[in-house]
Structure 1
Amino acid sequence: MKDIEEIGYFSADDDADHSLWAALSGFVATATDPFGRDPQVGHVTGSAFVLSPDREAVLLTHHAKLHMWLQLGGHCDGIADVPFVALKEAYEESGLRRIQPVGDARRVLDIDIQTIPATAKEPEHLHYDVRYLFLASDLDFTVSAESNALRWVPLGELEAFNNSESLLRLRQRTLDFLC
């Protein structure tokens, strides 16, 4: 088990996990401001895989800029406390009234390094996305300006919304953790 103070700890299951953790650790150790928002070097982001109270569904956002269904989350914007950022983003993007970590709040569920496409304002860059598992106390959400829509998606139907290896891996890690 490995720990980064600003991020938490992660139990790597295989070589791919070790490689992702090494890349994230190296980036945090060498970047001038890894928790900032400089698209020239990339940055750390925090994501929240928010389960419904019965743990049968996850709240997905149809992201307004990326035009795809994703878990909640976003930029650290200089905050060097990634579990807090993931929770803050989940509240801001969902309007849920109460969200709590499943297990230890510093336990990293998954890591994904994503290439974000260039826009008119920013070049292509990397998001070092650190993902945490949360549980909502109710189902009542409010769509924010960052989303086209929100939806509780049954875990078994995730592929109908986003069949990326990244999101399906996140689902599998959740199921493994809950068992």
Structure 2
Amino acid sequence: MLWKGLADHHITASCFVLSPDLDQILLTHHRKGQFWVQFGGHLEPADQSLEAAALREAREESGIDTLRLIGGVADLDRHDLHGGFTCRTHWDIGFTALADPLTPIAVSDESEDVAWWPIADLPEGATADLPRRIDRAVASLRRHTD
């Protein structure tokens, strides 16, 4: 199912927002999940593509309206969810963007916090798969920015 519905499996799109030196990542503390994670979420009927969904989610959840995606798909991931979610599994397609850590950020209604973190020192409460996914995002950005 492309759009959020009653199915047990949902496709989601996410965006890893990294600093230009690729040493920091902007993360959100997900209100429902109670974990630190990259920006992302369900596709909406108005989204013209997975890229559009990832960019919309990143802009909404970070407050940075000037974000632009770099490159194509950087990460593919399947993860199971706990009982607080409406589905059991997300099939997530991840993209990347760069932002200056001095750019003003905002916390959305879906989050408890948004903050920059050193990639080498992620916050307690980050999802277990986040380091692996960040590694893929950084590798993708290096291919597209070198």
TM-score by length of 2: 0.84
Q: Does 1:97 align with 2:93?
A: no
Residue 111 (structure 2) aligns with: 147
SS at match of 1:91: helix
Give the whole-Å Cα distance in 1 for the aligned partners of 2:131 and 2:23.
15
Q: Structure 1 pair 159/64, CA: closer, same or farther in 2 (3 Å)? A: closer
Computing the radius of gyration from Cα coordinates, the structure with the larger value is: 1
Structure 1: state its 5+ residue gaps.
1-33
How many residue pairs get aligned? The number is 140
Among 89, 97, 101, the residue aligned to 1:134: 97
Residue 63 (structure 1) aligns with: 30
The match for 1:158 is 122
Q: Structure 1-normalised TM-score?
A: 0.70
Q: Could you say which structure has the higher helix fraction?
A: 1
Counterpart of 2:4 in structure 1 is 37
Cα-to-partner distance string for 1:99-155 (whole Å, 9 max, x where unaligned): 1122x3xx1111111112223x83x42111110011125521011111100010111
Q: 2:77 aligns with which of 105, 112, 116?
A: 112
RMSD over equivalenced CA pairs, Å: 2.0
Given that residues 13 and 54 in structure 2 are in contact (C-alpha distance below 8 angstroms), is that contact kept between their aligned partners in structure 1? yes
Percent identity between the two aligned chains: 32
Residue 87 of structure 1 corresponds to which residue in structure 2? 55
* Higher relative contact order, chain-length normalized (CA < 8 Å, sep 6+): 2
**Could you tell me which residue of structure 2 aligns to residue 10 of structure 1?**
none
